[in-house]
Structure 1
């Protein structure tokens, strides 16, 4: 003890820790959730890139962490994790919620849900999908509902979609994950990708023309491809997966250019062949500032589209943000790099509510 207090602490062996853990839980069983959460953060699970379930969870984790970057909410709220019992389960099924006191109190207060029921709660009662939800709220009134839904077995999954919807501006952005070859950092274009790009281009038809200044976008693109790569057997970190964010319209231009033409006639995306792309921080800044995304997209369109993508065979990680921020205050917050005045955040996984008495409010 004297050694620890002097600032020269070491580590204990597994036998000592197990005995200490058992003693702690005998005296304070309420610490079980704290210990589980702490161990999950200290010993993150390593993903096996050769395993289909691990690859899917790896992508969904990155999508969930991207949502916290876009909203400036703490990524640690979605980091503590253990493998779910089912290989087909969403990433959020293994999430170990932050057991801080405020989160526990907030969870108890909201156990009845009432008007605070998650907007996508009814998805959890559908027979053909598996849906998990986690909510982050800060003291300024901003609320992020993270919805993770799978509707197909992992072995037949087509990949992961991240969809972020900003309710005040009625705008959403979609990112479709594609994995670069871990050795050459290449992605060979196939018919499946071309078909998926055709479908993503249809999303543009959901968007309206901008009528007000905050509705203007840099381009009509609301869908991006993220060509990502992970190190084999690497433990998860707080950083997003390295990769190239490419708007679908730009991907079309690249596919018509000789630089993506392979030696055997096929098309290839890689760092060597793509000169310009966005990295994670650049993409997040564009979304935060409302410079990319659809215009005038309703909640009903979002619900239909998200569920459709899941039933088509994608893992969907959807973030639904509500707030009272004006476009100006949102931009001011996005540009602020100070962490001193960040609002306090509560994080909880809401229980399944009773069937709603009224229809879910629209946009």
Structure 2
């Protein structure tokens, strides 16, 4: 392995550990519950976008139906807990496993589609699932499920007096999603995914099992997204089909990666740190006017970034870094 490449990998890991340590200390100084809620959602969407990026960014299979796996994770945890008394921790694993299996089952026919046909298929499947859950009486149909709260406990993963436990779990989830991506990026699967994204025919001619690589990316992505859905169900203590399987969730998973830099390690995190607080703040302070100003601000930022730098903010920072290095080299004696 090239020494510079190995050094860069170690640098990325140390930087991630330092950022996680800094993030863990933020709640010690920020006591406002509203701000803590925004931080929890930011970390959750950073994890979700990182997970979405595995399939859509690295493997090139753009999905706008990941709300399906988010909803399955939420409903699996909620149903097992309310109907059978199964602890949410087992519901998270169960929801992740079910979502991974469903992702591979759906991938069997859908991965034969390409381009916009695949994107449309993911949207149709997710919307169909939404309609099914809205009419499924066992899951509460359109009324949803009210998760009973039994007091503060890590065992039942429920907390009333503080949001800090949810914050630290969301931070751990974001770290796990980032580390899984970091590890896979330099693995055989990571190289396969990038080859499939660039040119599937050329990748197959070089021995890459294209179909299997897509299935593996879908399973990992769906599992992590479902864990995020399970966390969200416990965080809000109430779910209904529209609140966990609506199309907006698929968009909010994709947009941070697109804005930050799709197919990059840091893009989803950077995009989530910018977009999610902006979304929550504009909705709270100017969204109440009923004129959709929050959506205008949110959409305008996305359009500007997409036009100015299609590679995302990570690409913009890389360009600035290269220009700075060239200038330093030019003035060096």
TM-score category (smaller protein): under 0.3
Give the number of the structure whose alpha-carbon radius of gyration is greater. 1
Structure (1 or 2) with the greater strand fraction: 1
Structure (1 or 2) with the greater helix fraction: 2
Q: TM-score, normalised by structure 2?
A: 0.25
Q: TM-score, normalised by structure 1?
A: 0.23
